[in-house]
Amino acid sequence: MNWTTVVSARELAGALERSDLRLLDARAVLSEPAAGIRGYAEAHLPGAQFADLNQDLSDLNRAGCGRHPLPEAEVFARKLGAWGIAPQHQVVVYDAGDGSMAAARAWWLLKLLGHARVAVLDGGLAAWRAAGLPETAETPVPEDMGAYPGSFEASRIVGTDEVQARLTESPGWLFDARAPERYSGENEHIDPVAGHVPGAINLPYARNLRDGRLLPVEELRASLSAALAGGDPDRAVLMCGSGVTACHLLLAFEHAGLSGPRVYAGSWSEWIGDPQRPVARGN
């Protein structure tokens, strides 16, 4: 196993008995925070641990950092150890469907710690069930591996100051993964201010999907290369509402072989925390 972006349900099913495999269930519903753990308790992939978006993949006590602030690296490292995850393991993360809520977020956090072998289940639990693969309600009790060694690679995390400093650059470096109606400000149903960062280009993560799974690599690469318009992926910054679905856009870039983009962790919900920051609306 050497999965670093996505893995199919059939491939994963063939490796369930591997001793070096670790599974994380990251199902999340923004409007109903308890839905994920409730669904996990009913049925999940054999051996999977539950990773809660709000409690494990975020630190909601950090004020001024958007709706889903990053957890402290040390805290997340201890949770990984408690889930039985160490550097030698192949980790696969899944959620209810396409990976955007919030499997890709967990994938990115592991990448920030330097974990190479971590992938998202392509199509998530929906694809697993469509294939008629096994589930269980049993909660595993893993061996605590101790805190995962390492810390987040800070250079891969973009802050608001950097975004603000780059506003004078020509468009083509900042990409907003939200749906078009939220990007334009036409229908903002989550954050208190509608619109987008001036100069940001709308690149909805959902356009990289077909039937809940990532597009074939060549098709994905062509689409994302067109969005870059000849620009270097290393210049690209990805954002969304709170730094969660932006991770799915990063996953798509990585799977397409266009490595280098970074994530604006606080994203729109942090940007609008200061009313002095400029807001654009429309397309």
Please give the positions annotated as active site.
240
Residue 213, beta-bridge partner list? 210
Q: What are phi and psi of 25, to 5 degrees?
A: -100, 115
Amino acid at 166: R
Rounded Cα distance, 115 and 48, in Å: 18
Going from the C-alpha of 16 to that of each of 30, 117, 270, the distances in angstroms are: 30, 15, 39
Name the 3-class secondary structure at 169: coil
Is residue 118 classed as helix, strand or coil in its secondary structure? Answer: strand
Cβ-proximal residues to 63 (8 Å cutoff; 6+ apart), any chain:
none
Pairing of β 157-158 and β 262-264: parallel
